[in-house]
Amino acid sequence: MRVPADSLLVEGMDIACDETMYEDCGNNVKKTPSYSVDKHVDNPDPFLLARSFVRAGSGKALVLAVGNQTRWNQLHPIEERKEQPETRLQKRLHNLAEQIGKWAKLAGFVIFVFQVLFIMMKVMFNENDDLLSNATLQKLIRAFTTSIAIVIVAVPEGLPLAVSIAMAFSGKVMREDNLLVKKNDACENLAFINNICTGKTGTLTTAEMTVEKFYYAGTAMNPVENKTNQFLNIHLDKLEIIKSCIIMNNNARLEMQYKGEEPIYDPRGNPIEVAMLRFL
């Protein structure tokens, strides 16, 4: 999740932020609340900075600065920000449009010259026609209009817009396949990519972990295949101890949500601790 404003962390657990946009070494910065002055001495950075990403954890924060008052806007004022450079596709489209425009102008000029020569030769070999007559002038004007129309039609001024609209529709189709395209430029850059390196959790999976196996008294048990029968082999007192250990050493929380009209309790927090709660 992207942090929308500069904030002070007042409550949280296992929070790690990506602050590489502020400093190169800020890939995984741990954040913990400062509950007192003594705690703040050992933890001088309980702040969540705007535009940084929360990679893990959950908590509550007090908003301190928004808009132009944030640290990001202080370091990068709006008047100093540079416009985004053109992408490779945009550069090629502009070059293509310029080349087509040049050839269209040349073609229009050549067609106009040939039409004028044709009209003049027709007047020279026809005694009934006059070079300065209204009919001849109308033919010259029609030839000039035809040449201008060819130039206007041939210049692809709407080509970049048409490509942008096409990529926007492509992004919509990809969204139906659960592929979120945040920027249309990404579709252009994919044409130049040979290999994609991506993380598994949250990208290829749903960021949800499950307990596949656990060991008790030297025996491996698979709760996914047959949870009930395997638990029958564990003494009830031992089973209660296992449950108590999982609950007491777990910082995940249960949040009530409504699925239709029926409320359900969904665990939230660290993925491993959430998996342990769901295992119960």
What six digits make up the tokens of 71? 């640290």
Tens digits of pLDDT across the chain (280 residues): 788 899 888 887 778 888 887 876 667 788 888 776 666 666 667 888 888 888 777 788 889 898 888 888 888 776 666 666 777 777 787 788 888 888 888 888 888 888 888 878 777 777 666 666 777 788 888 888 888 888 887 777 677 777 778 777 877 887 777 777 777 777 777 777 788 777 665 566 666 778 887 777 777 777 666 555 556 567 778 778 888 888 888 877 777 777 777 777 777 777 788 888 888 7
At which residue do the structure tokens 């656990």 appear? 214
Using CA atoms, how far residue 98 sits from 92, 154, 163, in Å, is 10, 11, 16
pTM exceeding 0.85: no
pLDDT for residue 265: 78
pLDDT for residue 199: 67
The beta-carbon contacts of 67-71 under 8 Å, at least 24 apart in sequence, are 69/6, 70/5, 70/6, 71/6, 71/22
d(CA 136, CA 144): 12
Q: What is the number of alpha carbons within 13 Å of residue 137 lying toward its C-beta?
A: 3
pLDDT for residue 163: 76
d(CA 105, CA 256): 68
Count the Cβ atoms, other than its own, within 10 Å of residue 235: 8
pLDDT for residue 224: 60
> How far is C-alpha 178 from the chain's CA centre?
13
pLDDT for residue 26: 65
DSSP symbol at 2: B
